[in-house]
Amino acid sequence: MSVVTKRTSMTFFSDAKDHYSHRVRMVLAEKGVAFDMVDVDPGDKPETLAEINPYNSLPTLLDRDLVLYEANVIMEYLDERFPHPPLLPVYPVQRALSRLWITRVEKEWSGRLDLLMAGKGRETMLTKARKELRESIVSIAPIFSEKPYFMYEEFTLVDCCVAPILWRLKCVDITLPERSTKPLQKYMQTIFERETFRTSLTELELEMRE
């Protein structure tokens, strides 16, 4: 049996460059949770990870005897485990809409960013992914003029999914037009200057926008 199962503290296995790991780190920072972080090289994963996670995937959270290994599942667990501050709306309809927005981010943004971050494949495929991701982000820019955060007055899990993607645009050669995305640019500045967001960043992530 792995010695890791004997630990009493919360342990988070994280990829220092991955936006899925980043979103969980944002939640941990927002909640002020004390945890041990294990930076994992995706190309050289420790045996411990395979012992506790049947998919040997990142991110993975170990909380005593509980092992969770999907970013969105981990985020919702942390939000319920540490209820203050709440990162999902109280009312069922609004909670459902938040989950729907997260699903849209997954379908429209995450896959394209994954492709660009990996940098593998034909150049035509990468160019197409870059164009589609840029256009999708630009198309939703006006909604940021309505609320200070993504569709809400308060910071939520949706922001935890959106912000890591926006942070990585520069390193995948995506530049947003300033004139048509001013509300979005203001949102990005607000989020990126947020203390908990700065706390969530790894050294590799800091380098992404240098």
pLDDT per residue as tens digits for the range 47-100:
999 999 999 999 999 999 999 999 999 999 999 999 999 999 999 999 999 999
Q: Where are the beta strands (DSSP E) in 45-139?
A: 60-63, 66-68
Q: Measured over all CA atoms, what is the biggest interatomic distance in the chain, rounded to whole angstroms?
A: 58
The model's pLDDT over 89-119, given as tens digits with 9 standing for 90+, comes to 999 999 999 999 999 999 999 999 999 999 9
Nearest Cα to Cα of residue 63 among 97, 28, 90, 105: 28
Q: 92-207 adopts what CATH topology? A: Glutathione S-transferase Yfyf (Class Pi); Chain A, domain 2 (1.20.1050)
pLDDT tier for residue 120 given thresholds of 50, 70 and 90: confident
DSSP state of 60: E
> pTM value?
0.93
E-state strands within 42-199: 60-63, 66-68
Q: Element (H or E) spanning 37, and its range? A: strand 36-39
39-53 in b/e form (b: 16+ CB < 10 A) is ebeeeebeebbeebb
Confidence of residue 5 (pLDDT cuts 50, 70, 90): very low
Q: Is the pLDDT of residue 150 over 90?
A: yes
Taking the domains of the chain in order of start, what are their residue ranges? 3-81, 92-207
**Angle formed by the axes of helices 123-140 and 111-118, nearest 10°:** 140
Q: Show the beta-strand stretches assigned E in 48-105.
A: 60-63, 66-68
CATH number listed for the domain at residues 3-81: 3.40.30.10
What percentage of the chain exceeds 70 in pLDDT? Answer: 96
